[in-house]
Structure 1
Amino acid sequence: MAMMTFTVEGKLEGDVVKVCVAGREMEIGLFGSDYPTPEEVLLASALSCMLLTVRYVAREKGVEIEELSGYIEGTMDPRGFQGEPGVPPGLLEVAYDIKVKSRDKRIKEIIDLSEKRCPLKDTLSRPVKIRVNWSLES
């Protein structure tokens, strides 16, 4: 299978960033606004990715899942975002709680494989090469 590239476009409008994801617009705001924050969107993506990975792996192995749901939380010290030296500005910890209901004895294998194969859990768990290209206009 060939490499895949995912894209999102966004534009700041006031205190909200409007992003277009797969042809759908989302509005993302700062903490304390009426909009989801970038951190919440990241966590929603990470949780969705884990649940969908479990579903994919279960189908691949012929394992029936009766129920699958989850909760995720991320812990952040806001002092880092505010510029406090020595405090990272991003999430310090991410914790998943996943509930799986299945009568199939192979469900533990599905869970183990899913943790190993979940793209966003992997992305959050290891260093990723990141480039930021700025275009400055006057």
Structure 2
Amino acid sequence: MTANVSTSLNDITEATARAVAENPAAAQVVFRASGVPEGTVGSAIALGQYTIRVDEPPALGGAGAAPNPVEVYLASLIACQVVTYRFWAQRLDITVDDITVAAEGDLDVRGFFGLDDTVRPGFQAVRVTVRITGPETAERYAELQRTVDAHCPVLDLSTAATPVETTLVTA
């Protein structure tokens, strides 16, 4: 798996470390997204040059034309886990022949619909399963998992409080 990376991730890390040492402000990156309604409950989200579409299944008022927001979150978590595993496997010199990541979350819709204000509107639990094959020992892969869990940005969004400020602008 790590042999397929065209640029050494360690080289990228070293270049980033040098740039940040010279200019600490270079460590700060801002990501942006914006969205507009689409269909009954869907949306089109602009992410730079990309657009992703989000919808709900018919049971929740949508057309089922795209993944729903919590599925997009699970996809983001999986994608971030894959990237973080690949990065840290190379950084720790751990050989990974293959990796697959699956995630599932339990959501009680009573929170979203306001049917029970004691139920949170987000996932009550999320389970991530990572399957790795390769020649390393179980202990080395456990070390990799601990490192990934400590450094995965999207996992961190779920496990640590992130301040969010919402601003309403009216015309």
TM-score per shorter chain, which class? over 0.9
2:54 partner SS? strand
- How far residue 133 of structure 1 moved from its aligned partner, in angstroms, is 0.8
Are 2:149 and 1:123 aligned?
no
| TM-score, normalised relative to structure 1 | 0.92
- How far residue 83 of structure 1 moved from its aligned partner, in angstroms, is 0.6
Aligned residue type for 1:39: V
Q: Which residue of 1 aligns with 2:112?
A: 81
Larger mean CA deviation between 99-108 and 64-73 belongs to 99-108
Aligned residue type for 2:44: K
Give aligned-pair identity as a percent.
Answer: 23
Aligned residue type for 1:102: G
| Number of equivalenced pairs | 137
Unaligned 5+ residue runs, structure 2? 1-19, 21-26, 59-63
Are 2:84 and 1:59 aligned?
no
Equivalence map 1:22-101=2 (5 Å): 22-32=48-58, 33-84=64-115, 85-101=117-133
Which one of 8, 18, 34 corresponds to residue 9 of structure 1? 34
Question: Could you tell me how far apart the structure 1 residues matched to 2:65 and 2:38 are?
Answer: 15
Are 2:46 and 1:20 aligned?
yes
Higher helix content, 1 or 2:
2
**What is the alpha-carbon root mean square deviation over aligned residues?**
1.3
- How far residue 35 of structure 1 moved from its aligned partner, in angstroms, is 1.4
Moved over 3 A (4+): none
- How far residue 104 of structure 1 moved from its aligned partner, in angstroms, is 2.1
- How far residue 13 of structure 1 moved from its aligned partner, in angstroms, is 2.4
Question: Could you tell me how far apart the structure 2 residues matched to 1:125 and 1:74 are?
Answer: 14
Are 2:143 and 1:134 aligned?
no
Question: Could you tell me how far apart the structure 2 residues matched to 1:8 and 1:130 are?
Answer: 14
Q: Which residue of 2 aligns with 1:114?
A: 148
| TM-score, normalised relative to structure 2 | 0.75
- How far residue 74 of structure 1 moved from its aligned partner, in angstroms, is 0.9
Residue by residue, what CA displacement relative to the aligned partner does 1:90-123 show, whole Å, maximum 9, x if unpaired? Answer: 1111100110112123322111111111111111
- How far residue 10 of structure 1 moved from its aligned partner, in angstroms, is 1.0
Unaligned 5+ residue runs, structure 1? none
- How far residue 11 of structure 1 moved from its aligned partner, in angstroms, is 0.9
Higher strand content, 1 or 2:
1
Question: Could you tell me how far apart the structure 2 residues matched to 1:128 and 1:31 are?
Answer: 29
